[in-house]
Structure 1
């Protein structure tokens, strides 16, 4: 647990409020406040606005954003390991793009995002009705409108045609709005409200973890970069301007000299982080990556209080993309990725291989872990060894198969919930967005500025040789190496026309309707005004 709790980050001043109003921490975290005697001080305003953020704690779990944006791609796979992770074929359907309206994860994401929208609408209505300081209320309403726009950006990206619920007094079910209408709404809300928000930089300040001016422009950059997908009209100049708003700022954002520090247990205030969800094993739970990816025996590796679930792994070819097989392996070179098929790779190692856990596994005392439940056909046998090779997607993937996700620091004494802040937007991503927008605008992937931006990241974070030339495929691969497991890959593959291509465990898609998810059956059953997305 952090020495300074989540309460400081999202809900500043609440401990003082608790002393005045006799509210406990649970009341404050979930905004169970009596609005008749509330909204009188800046601290009370902030505590109420904090409720709009609490749904975001779910972003780091195994049933919302990460599965939809990663398990559907060539980065992450959840093999069916005998009786584990079958779940009615849901994880296989995500990987093979055969998802259906009754699948649980799209419904979970829909509910989480619309719960956030509803909270924003509710608190705004309370502020407008109850607040006596209308000037102060206006500032917090601008923040809530920006947070709501972020929720709608994700809905726009994943579901396309969704209802625009912006008035808390309207209770009847709403019909779908078009993707263009939702796009226009998100753009307008961010542009209108960003100038009213603080322009603070990285650090452990009272605004850390909240949407600020630069968060708005990070979302705008994403919106414009994907505008051609969303609306049919490219917006490269707008994307460049949004990126430059962040890159040219003087508040302290910069490329972190240490890639691993961005994702460490104590990553609060890292200069690369534009927006993160402050996670805490006690006050702000929900970031479950260690549980999602580690083997049950790794409980003794990290002295964990809970036994991991042995699910999420990396597809072999993606893991191997971090090795340059053309260059001489040199002193760092080693053979990796060995499989019964003999597909091994040697090469120069990218420092960002820290994104993964491979090889023999040990307990905290240094003793070799032995998996008595290992499949008899697994050539590695009982000694627990994570191998990049995965023998099959289903039904009997080996318990040890798959490089595991180690991007965020795992530490001794972990609970089921990590202390690491979950990074949402960061500086390197903005650099890559600018490079891509320049290349696409100029029709030249070897644009000098674009190449320099990519090579700066390769040098600082990867420690590998800069590119001398670049094309779309090389850029996409580099973006994948840098942004692994940050819920960007699905969006990136769609933008580059690769989401419907074949990769290991994923045959090519016959139709691009899978580029947005089905509107969940539960939502259509509850709202007769909703129309299903085409193709489902």
Structure 2
């Protein structure tokens, strides 16, 4: 298992400082550890790669806090996964948070500005991962390996690690495309130094991510052959399927046939299987599941953070909920659902669909007050308890991994792309994939499907997994008045908002730092 130990972070931190942008190129390095010394020994490469993966999970160079990777925000709230989850879920019909930290209520209400600290932190997290990945890729080229006389298995391993770093960078740029649209563009070809990165268009970024993922597709381990927690070929194919499913939004050109092709590649590999029990996908031993294609891994003793799954499990617990049932030492009484999420299920008891795991005791269905945790049904989806009922290794920091990519999404991607006119698939197969999910959930099978059904089914299957904002935008329901939910636009009944909110703004601080950048929407 590729569970990340935080000690590798100090190595990368020293490297990041040693290779940072300074004008005085004759300056003697402050740290003894430099890129040259680290990469001279191929035994270090896997540890550095582990830190790239850890950038998704941890918030700094020691756990759980104290040496943050980025500044300007409380470290506990600055974790990549925590930020990604909040920006993908809190503005939607699936989740709201009761707290009043900084500008978090602006995210709830879709009323943010370009100076929002959480949006700025997400932007910075994306580019921090890109920067670390660029450095790793730059230092593991074939030429560099030959220069250091690294051959044989060590060279083969280094090339695989390099492909994984390219995957992580491509995924970060995919998140940038989806959230910010048009952003600065830097690769390993841009040597560290004082320069202003140019702003790439959304189309350019789309083409780049597409080409990168295709280029490394055969360089990554075969589906299921990678160490758990590391990207394999199926992970790259799944990101491509997502990219193509949203191509109409990103580039104004539909690529639904391509979405079918890449979803089929993942499905037809035969390696990934549906987890027989839905709830076992979200427990402290979900690393045993054959359905999860790419997780963000957590460990209560080795990846201690106030972000990630520690946030997600603790923050969903409050009111009259028994904290021990969730394997934690306290509830943070933060996130809960809106009634619109409950509406997509036949009932709130999970009797007719086992995926609808709502906690209703003392919780009212309607979300009348954003600041009151008991307004809105609570959710019991994530637990720091194993599938056998055993608590995680630590009750404060969580063992449960976040299922960033899993097979169910590929089934639903295939079905939606078929309904949207993609070729290479058929509706009968699409219905069969949907019914596999519904059968697992003990929900009634369906004989026909349409796009509205698929949007609702994605909510039933994938809620609170970081998909919803992207899904609503693809269905043209995120900013418009055709579909409303509580507190959309800042009012209890919900209202349409300006189209600019389909994108998060480039942070004002970056516009000042790089005068060549232009804002990605009007009115910010």
Task: Give the TM-score of the pair, scaled to structure 2.
Answer: 0.80
* Cα distance in 2 between the residues matched to 1:40 and 1:34: 10
1:407 counterpart residue number? 381
C-alpha contact (below 8 Å) 1:289/1:418 kept by paired residues: no
Structure 1 residue aligned with 2:191, among 139, 154, 169? 169
Structure 2 residue aligned with 1:455, among 435, 438, 458? 435
Structure 1 residue aligned with 2:300, among 278, 281, 287? 281
Q: 1:518 to 1:192 in 2, by over 3 A?
A: same
Alpha-carbon displacement from aligned partner over 1:180-209 (angstroms, at most 9, x marks no partner): 00000000000001111101417xx6x211
2:210 counterpart residue number? 187
Alpha-carbon displacement from aligned partner over 1:1-29 (angstroms, at most 9, x marks no partner): xxxxxxx5056xx9xxxxxxxx9665468
For residue 132 of structure 1, report the CA deviation from its aligned partner. 2.9
* Cα distance in 1 between the residues matched to 2:495 and 2:453: 21
C-alpha contact (below 8 Å) 1:63/1:105 kept by paired residues: no
Q: 1:235 to 1:304 in 2, by over 3 A?
A: closer
Alpha-carbon displacement from aligned partner over 1:192-245 (angstroms, at most 9, x marks no partner): 01111101417xx6x211121111001000000000000000001111110111
For residue 400 of structure 1, report the CA deviation from its aligned partner. 2.4
Alpha-carbon displacement from aligned partner over 1:119-144 (angstroms, at most 9, x marks no partner): 01112222244643264333322221
1:71 counterpart residue number? 90
Q: Does 2:516 match 1:529?
A: yes
C-alpha contact (below 8 Å) 1:63/1:108 kept by paired residues: no
Structure 2 residue aligned with 1:228, among 218, 224, 248? 248
For residue 518 of structure 1, report the CA deviation from its aligned partner. 0.7
* Cα distance in 2 between the residues matched to 1:223 and 1:303: 34
Structure 2 residue aligned with 1:435, among 405, 410, 415? 415
Q: How does 1:68-147 map to 2 (within 5 A)?
A: 68-79=87-98, 85-88=99-102, 90-128=103-141, 129=144, 131-133=148-150, 135-136=155-156, 137-147=158-168
* Cα distance in 2 between the residues matched to 1:248 and 1:306: 42
User: Over the residues paired in the alignment, what is the CA RMSD in angstroms?
Assistant: 2.8
Q: Does 2:493 match 1:514?
A: no
Partner SS state of residue 425, structure 1: strand
* Cα distance in 2 between the residues matched to 1:197 and 1:446: 29
Q: How does 1:343-382 map to 2 (within 5 A)?
A: 349-354=352-357, 356-359=358-361
2:449 counterpart residue number? 470
* Cα distance in 1 between the residues matched to 2:314 and 2:350: 31
Alpha-carbon displacement from aligned partner over 1:244-299 (angstroms, at most 9, x marks no partner): 1111113x211111101111110113110100011011222332212222227758
Q: Does 2:331 match 1:308?
A: yes
* Cα distance in 2 between the residues matched to 1:120 and 1:180: 22
Structure 2 residue aligned with 1:386, among 363, 371, 394? 363
For residue 474 of structure 1, report the CA deviation from its aligned partner. 1.6
For residue 392 of structure 1, report the CA deviation from its aligned partner. 2.2
* Cα distance in 1 between the residues matched to 2:166 and 2:81: 27
Extract unaligned runs of 5+ from structure 2: 16-32, 59-77, 386-390, 489-493
Q: Does 2:291 match 1:272?
A: yes
2:50 counterpart residue number? 50
* Cα distance in 1 between the residues matched to 2:427 and 2:203: 31
C-alpha contact (below 8 Å) 1:30/1:51 kept by paired residues: no
* Cα distance in 2 between the residues matched to 1:404 and 1:318: 11
* Cα distance in 1 between the residues matched to 2:253 and 2:439: 34
Q: 1:446 to 1:27 in 2, by over 3 A?
A: closer
| Higher alpha-carbon deviation: 51-60 or 262-271 | 51-60
C-alpha contact (below 8 Å) 2:503/2:521 kept by paired residues: no
For residue 105 of structure 1, report the CA deviation from its aligned partner. 1.4
Q: How does 1:189-338 map to 2 (within 5 A)?
A: 189-201=212-224, 207-250=227-270, 252-285=271-304, 286=307, 287=309, 288-295=311-318, 301=324, 307-323=330-346
For residue 43 of structure 1, report the CA deviation from its aligned partner. 4.1
* Cα distance in 1 between the residues matched to 2:439 and 2:469: 25
Partner SS state of residue 9, structure 1: coil
* Cα distance in 2 between the residues matched to 1:505 and 1:37: 54
* Cα distance in 2 between the residues matched to 1:35 and 1:495: 42
1:488 counterpart residue number? 467
* Cα distance in 2 between the residues matched to 1:140 and 1:199: 14
C-alpha contact (below 8 Å) 1:150/1:219 kept by paired residues: yes
C-alpha contact (below 8 Å) 2:337/2:379 kept by paired residues: yes
Q: 1:191 to 1:300 in 2, by over 3 A?
A: closer
Alpha-carbon displacement from aligned partner over 1:375-427 (angstroms, at most 9, x marks no partner): xxxxxxxxxx233332323xxx4342222232112434753431111110000
C-alpha contact (below 8 Å) 2:319/2:374 kept by paired residues: no
| Higher alpha-carbon deviation: 169-178 or 70-79 | 169-178
* Cα distance in 2 between the residues matched to 1:303 and 1:474: 32
For residue 453 of structure 1, report the CA deviation from its aligned partner. 1.4
